[in-house]
Structure 1
Amino acid sequence: MRLILMLLALAFAAAPAAAEPRVIREGLANMTGTYEYILRSEITGQDYLVQVAEPVRPVGRGQKAPVVFVLDGNYFFGMATDVARNLQIVREIGPAWIVAVGFPGEGLGPWIDGRNRDYVHVVQEDGGRRTGGGGEGFQRFLTEELRPFLASNPYMDLDHTVLYGHSASGLFTARVLSTHPEAFDGYLIGSPAVFVEPAIMDRIAAWPGGAQRPRVFLGYAGGDMEARILADMPRLTQALEAGDRYDLQVRAFPDQTHVSVEGVLFANGLKFLLPPPAP
């Protein structure tokens, strides 16, 4: 046995060292068909990170594709781009642009500060800390500045748009629906924190309807770690269902949590809001 161990040790010692690969190029990774801007809003005075992903297949000359505005862009741009492109590849949705809106800066701090300011319309006081109050200005940035800025792209159909938000940005998305339902054609609302502003549900319930029925997908996690979100979902659902004023789908995902639900919720929302064209 000792002889065998000695032979094995000699064999390993004599083995040539594994060759290392030669680095041809290195740098920051990026996704094909994506680009970004940092835009300063004249309305809010704030800077915003805007990341754009092209449809997976080129849009033909003279044709346009809908635009999905994704909030919490620092966090969701990669997920939203991958999900949307995969669904386009298998033709479960039609062509679509992803336009993710976030906050520039290193680390999580600028994103957290920006969302606490801009995703809440009503000022909040929590232990002496003041947050919120930037929602109206941010809403105007999206509709009065960002949309016209994107209009120079002849392949974006800015008459057919979807607004997506989850959690705090889901609160913002629900607020826009409750006050300006005509601002977007579709609303993809994920686990919205409407407990921050319960009047949103009252306004949705009281809306008399308009010339067109907004398409709305509401999704949430059945195992949501935020009990206050779950507690409001029956009331929000009832407000949306009353009077047949919305083209609506509501989905609960019973085995998902607040975070794990994000991808599956976004995918199902896109399939409802952006069905593929008839063959």
Structure 2
Amino acid sequence: MIMIVKNVMTQPDDCFRLPGATSQVVGEYRIDLLVPEGPAPEGGWPSVWLLDGAGCFGTCVEAMRRMSRRSDATAVVPLVIVGISAADGDRARRQRVFTSPMADRPEAGGAEAFLRFLLEEVRPQVAARAPLDEGRTTLWGHSLAGYFTLWVLATHPRSFRNYAAISPSTWWDRPVLEAGLARAPGDRRALVCIGEWEDALPPWQASAPDAASALARRQARQMVAGARDIAALLTGVLGEEHAQFRLLPEEDHASVLSAAVPRMLRMASGA
């Protein structure tokens, strides 16, 4: 007999939808919220804000719960986890909301509106459900959302304390990132992670029929070099204690997420 039970490990304490009234660019979003058990610490909970939350909320919740049981060994404390996902699962919307304007991309450029949505609509809704420590907030983004994460640090750095850019799409309007990040305040913290195989092919893909075209696409965007360059810039601005670069071995653009979560949780916890 097979019995199916609810997965209590990843079940959010609350979820709700926000219409994205800030701009037509934003649209409707589902917000998943996990609040740790027990009373909040003095000053409120530290919090992690996951862009594209539908793809990483459960992974982050399980990692936080397991690691925070032994904070002395893992340096991870209980945190509020917020997942922000397009309510209709529309991934094409990502290029509209996670990018700065570019003259030749009229369908893009909604980053300002999306940041206002996060700060003016999502954050008050979450704060009404759990006391937050505004000095311990971490923004997480992957790929184009990783570009957005760096863009927020470059243009509105006081929005969050910590920034985790995972496999960031640094090829999108790189000059905007570099100019803004060069002026980032020194009390911010940043983590940049990239997979070893994001410019190359893993062994099992090397003999696939489309291997040559897949390799050409990866090499054209130079994800590893771009991430390394941005991390080096951040290290020069923030210092080695506040800027981390991690080249994660044997990971690609998809698998890097799970490997990056524990590193982000340590930063979000203050380690």
What is the match of residue 87 of structure 2? Answer: 104
Task: Tell me how far 1:43 sits from its aligned partner.
Answer: 0.9
In the TM superposition, what whole-angstrom CA distance separates every residue of 1:197-235 from its partner, at most 9, and x where no partner exists? 11234224531x53x510111111111153321231232
In the TM superposition, what whole-angstrom CA distance separates every residue of 1:220-257 from its partner, at most 9, and x where no partner exists? 11111533212312321221122445711111113211
What is the match of residue 96 of structure 2? Answer: 117
2:266 is aligned, of 243, 262, 271, to 271
Alignment pair present for 1:76 and 2:56: yes
Larger radius of gyration: 1
Amino acid corresponding to residue 219 of structure 1 in structure 2: C
Contact conserved, 2:47 with 2:132, CA < 8 A, in 1? yes
Contact conserved, 1:205 with 1:242, CA < 8 A, in 2? no
Alignment pair present for 1:222 and 2:196: yes
Task: Give distance in 2, aligned partners of 1:76 and 1:154.
Answer: 21
Amino acid corresponding to residue 57 of structure 2 in structure 1: F
What is the match of residue 143 of structure 2? Answer: 167
Task: Tell me how far 1:33 sits from its aligned partner.
Answer: 4.7
What is the match of residue 209 of structure 2? Answer: none
Q: Which protein has greater RCO, CA pairs closer than 8 Å, 6+ apart?
A: 2
Contact conserved, 1:173 with 1:189, CA < 8 A, in 2? yes
TM-score by length of 2: 0.80
Task: Give distance in 2, aligned partners of 1:155 and 1:238.
Answer: 35
1:140 is aligned, of 101, 112, 116, to 116
What is the match of residue 34 of structure 2? Answer: 53
Change (3 A) 1:148 1:90: same
Change (3 A) 1:47 1:123: farther
1:149 is aligned, of 125, 134, 137, to 125
SS of equivalent residue, structure 2 residue 231: helix
Amino acid corresponding to residue 84 of structure 2 in structure 1: V
Q: Which runs of 5+ in 1 are unaligned?
A: 1-19
RMSD: 2.5
Amino acid corresponding to residue 217 of structure 1 in structure 2: L
SS of equivalent residue, structure 1 residue 196: coil
SS of equivalent residue, structure 1 residue 232: helix
Task: Give distance in 2, aligned partners of 1:32 and 1:199.
Answer: 41
Contact conserved, 1:179 with 1:203, CA < 8 A, in 2? no
Alignment pair present for 1:247 and 2:246: no
Following superposition of structure 1 onto structure 2, how do residues 200-219 of structure 1 map, counting pairs within 5 Å?
A: 200-207=176-183, 209-210=184-185, 213-219=187-193
Task: Tell me how far 1:40 sits from its aligned partner.
Answer: 1.2
Amino acid corresponding to residue 143 of structure 2 in structure 1: S
Change (3 A) 1:243 1:136: closer
Contact conserved, 2:143 with 2:169, CA < 8 A, in 1? yes
Task: Tell me how far 1:155 sits from its aligned partner.
Answer: 2.8
Contact conserved, 2:35 with 2:130, CA < 8 A, in 1? no
Contact conserved, 1:147 with 1:158, CA < 8 A, in 2? no
Task: Give distance in 2, aligned partners of 1:243 and 1:27.
Answer: 49
Task: Tell me how far 1:157 sits from its aligned partner.
Answer: 2.1
Q: Which runs of 5+ in 2 are unaligned?
A: 200-217
Alignment pair present for 1:42 and 2:18: no
Contact conserved, 2:64 with 2:265, CA < 8 A, in 1? yes
Q: Which runs of 4+ in 1 moved over 3 A?
A: 26-33, 60-63, 123-126, 243-246
Contact conserved, 2:197 with 2:252, CA < 8 A, in 1? yes
Change (3 A) 1:74 1:83: same
Task: Give distance in 1, aligned partners of 2:42 and 2:129.
Answer: 12
Task: Give distance in 2, aligned partners of 1:257 and 1:170.
Answer: 15
SS of equivalent residue, structure 1 residue 257: coil
What is the match of residue 257 of structure 1? Answer: 252
SS of equivalent residue, structure 1 residue 265: helix
What is the match of residue 12 of structure 1? Answer: none
Change (3 A) 1:205 1:138: closer
Contact conserved, 1:240 with 1:248, CA < 8 A, in 2? yes
Task: Tell me how far 1:38 sits from its aligned partner.
Answer: 0.5
Contact conserved, 1:43 with 1:137, CA < 8 A, in 2? yes
